Amino acid sequence: MQDAEFHALVDELFNRLEDELDAQELDLDIDSASGILTIEFPNGSSVIVSRQIAAHEVWVAARSGGFHLSNEDSWFCRVTGEDLASLLSRVLTEQLGETVTMTIS
């Protein structure tokens, strides 16, 4: 995959993530700037979703740890075995304290 294709893929992903989180009307602040999507919680914690250009990966940083996802047919974390939707559902639920179900892949 070329860098331009990776950027377009991640830009689309970030837009879909923002749309899905907005539609759920959760008590979150969402900011996307400079290749980083920041999700801030009322308790002051954050989940950061960032693009890693050199590795063509998306990284998720949460209180429970850091996760690297690659895209073969969908975004997937080899360490946890979770797809992006499952991983984000889990870490957002942990930090928000209420169930969050993401369907984005």
The domains of the chain are located at: 3-95
> For residue 100, what pLDDT band results from cuts at 50, 70 and 90?
very high
Q: Is the pLDDT of residue 52 over 90?
A: yes
Which CATH fold would you assign to the domain 3-95?
Answer: Metal Transport, Frataxin; Chain A (3.30.920)
Residues present in the chain in total: 105
Q: Which two tokens stand for residue 33?
A: 């700037």
Q: Is the pTM of this model over 0.85?
A: yes
Q: What is the pLDDT of residue 105?
A: 58
Closest to 12 (Cα-Cα) out of 48, 46, 39, 37: 37
Rounded to whole angstroms, the Cα distance separating 74 from 54 reads 18
Q: How far apart are CA 96 and CA 98, in angstroms?
A: 6
Alpha helices in the chain (DSSP H): 3-23, 84-96
